[in-house]
Amino acid sequence: MASGWAKDGAVQEQIDASIEDALKSVRGRLHSGKGLTHCEECGARIPEARRKALPGVRLCLACQSEADKKVKTHSLYNRRGSKDSQLR
């Protein structure tokens, strides 16, 4: 596939880098270790089923939903390999 001056496989490398960045961000937000029985934000009891499904869980479902809204969503556009990024 011809794409200007890009080397062969450059598009796939950009896609792979974007996916790796997104995975790194998600893995960084996962808790590990012993979870809590009560939410660290509001103090509500965390259901046993949630604690079993998500080891290391620290927030109840309501607080986790609010926390997820605050997380910046990822753009799938990888600026590292674009020509435009060199102009800014």
**pLDDT tier for residue 75 given thresholds of 50, 70 and 90:** low
pTM over 0.75: no
pLDDT for residue 24: 87
pLDDT for residue 49: 94
Does residue 45 fall inside a structural domain?
Answer: yes
Amino acid (1-letter code) at residue 59: L
Beta-carbon contacts of residue 39 (< 8 Å; ≥ 6 apart):
45, 46, 58, 59, 60, 63
Does residue 9 fall inside a structural domain?
Answer: no
Q: What pLDDT, in 10s, does the model give residues 12-56?
A: 888 888 889 888 888 877 777 888 999 999 999 999 999 998 888
Does residue 21 fall inside a structural domain?
Answer: no
For residue 28, what are its two tokens? 């960084």
Q: Is the pLDDT of residue 78 over 60?
A: no
Does residue 19 fall inside a structural domain?
Answer: no
Number of domains, the chain: 1
Domain that holds residue 45: 29-70
pLDDT for residue 83: 55
Task: Give the dihedral of Cα atoms 36, 38, 43, 47; nearest 10 deg.
Answer: 130
Say how far apart CA 25 and CA 10 lie, in whole Å: 23
Does residue 63 fall inside a structural domain?
Answer: yes
> Are 27 and 5 spatial neighbours (Cβ–Cβ below 8 Å)?
no
Does residue 78 fall inside a structural domain?
Answer: no
Does residue 4 fall inside a structural domain?
Answer: no
Does residue 61 fall inside a structural domain?
Answer: yes
